[in-house]
Amino acid sequence: MSEPVHVLFVCLGNICRSPLAEGLFQDKVNAAGLEGEVVVDSAGTGGWHVGAPADARMTATAATHGTDLSRLKARQLERHDLHAFDHVFVMDKSNLHDTLALDPDGDHGTRVRLFREFDPEPGDYQVPDPYYGGAAGFETVYAIADRTTDAILERLAVVYGWDLEDA
């Protein structure tokens, strides 16, 4: 069997946006029977919340849609991740800057991409940070992450030849 494809989602704190993307994408990978083909993870560019569970508001919103984030723990992005992961999807332009700054001499053009480049309704190409806002922000982030993780799985299926028809 070939090496699994490694997919990483990155935001600032790794307690709202990127754990949601990780949870959604993992569920979709599992539903498609691709567990052995894909490794899914998330990380934050900042270290404030390392070891913490996802934000209770994000976990609650995800749970109302049937997505379980309770197992996830925040970790900080490391330089090594930029080489260990085949695809790194970042939530906003600040995350993109901070991610690339970890290894400024590396060639990451195809590995590190804005998550919403794959959103069929990309808006400004950034996932808004819900941390300091109200409940509606978490619903907005859920809708963006749900349709964008669908689109990313479909795109990777084309690239890697996975059959999603069985899902």
Q: Which residues bind ligand 4NP (CB under 6 A)?
A: 11-17, 44, 48, 129, 131
Active-site positions read 11, 17, 129
Q: How far is the CB of 46 from ligand 4NP (least distance, A)?
A: 7
SS3 104: coil
Q: How far is the CB of 59 from ligand 4NP (least distance, A)?
A: 12
154 vs 72: CA distance, rounded Å: 24
Q: How far is the CB of 117 from ligand 4NP (least distance, A)?
A: 18
Which lies closer to ligand 4NP via its Cβ, residue 9 or residue 162?
9
The number of beta carbons lying within 10 Å of the beta carbon of residue 46 is 16
Answer whether 41's CB lies under 8 Å from 14's CB. Answer: no
Which lies closer to ligand 4NP via its Cβ, residue 34 or residue 127?
127
Shortest-Cβ-distance residue relative to ligand 4NP = 13
Look at phi and psi of residue 164 and say left if phi exceeds 0, alpha if psi is from -120 to 50, else beta: alpha
